[in-house]
Amino acid sequence: MVTVCLANHKGGTGKTSICINMGAYFAKKKTKTLIIDMDPQGHVAPGLGIEVGYDDRSIADVLSNQEDITTIIAHSHIKGLDVAPSNIRLSLVNETLYNSFKRERRLRKAMDKIYKDKTYDIVIIDCPPSLGPLVENTLMVVDYCIIPCEPSSRSIDGLADFILKLKDVREGELDSKWNIVMSRVKKSARLTNEVIDEKLSEYKNRIFKTKIYERESINQAQMAGIPVFDFPRGQLASENFTKFGKEVASRCQIK
């Protein structure tokens, strides 16, 4: 089993969209997949057509030691794609974690059962836009970290902070295990894209060859609660995520 997260403390860089569509890509090629949502906004489940209310069981109950992770897992309509959903109660748990002993190890402990059961080939974790305990918990369990980055100066300026966090939490263990994916790239913005490539030259070898392009269908599919592969006008986005999925599989050694 390989565990990969989508993380960046900036919001709106495409973390959740990539999680959902990358999860669907792997499940469709028969790689048994679990997405764990670590963001209190809880957008993963509805993005796959699963509604989760305030009182429903969620990863909040797992991190507060009240539920076993296997009891909160929901099956999506895609065979082989399961979700450990989140909801807004996770923000309350996040607050309590700040003052908890071994606060960064809750998810690791919760995932023991998943490692033991060997139900999944890949676990994909969606992170909140922060550098707080929920992200620390995630970085403690991952084999690889993918950082979606939007082609804007602001997004790039924040990258160094996130990379520092990555080094800090696992004391360098993840140094060779993180990559950047350029996300929400507008094909028409040629000049901007050139400037951004130049600005990111120090990370050149870290950047996925496949970029995720800005496409209406990605947004619409998410609103419809389905991945782009099942969206009627999602062909170009599907091709994009297929290419990306293949590159993830080869970089992260996923079968």
Choices 12-20, 48-56, 109-117, 153-161 (CB under 6 A): range interacting with ligand ADP: 12-20
- Phi, psi values for residue 34, rounded to 5°: -120, 130
- Residue 214, interface with ligand ADP (CB under 6 A)? yes
SS3 208: coil
- Residue 86, interface with ligand ADP (CB under 6 A)? no
- Residue 58, interface with ligand ADP (CB under 6 A)? no
Q: Which of 3, 16, 87, 137 binds ligand ADP (CB under 6 A)?
A: 16
The dihedral region occupied by 12, where left means phi > 0, alpha psi between -120 and 50, and beta the remainder, is left
Distance, CA of 174 to CA of 209 (rounded, Å) = 20
- As measured in angstroms, the least distance from the Cβ of 12 to Mg ion is 8
DSSP letter string, 73-129: -EE-SSTTEEEE---THHHHHHHHHTTSTTGGGHHHHHHHHHHHHT--SEEEEEPPS
- Residue 136, interface with ligand ADP (CB under 6 A)? no
Measured from the CB atom, is 41 or 119 closer to Mg ion? 41
In terms of Cβ atoms closer than 10 Å to its own Cβ (0-12, 13-18, 19+), residue 226 is buried
- Residue 179, interface with Mg ion (CB under 5 A)? no
Measured from the CB atom, is 9 or 57 closer to Mg ion? 9
- As measured in angstroms, the least distance from the Cβ of 45 to ligand ADP is 13
Residues that bind ligand ADP (CB under 6 A): 11-17, 43, 129, 184, 212, 214-215, 218-219, 222
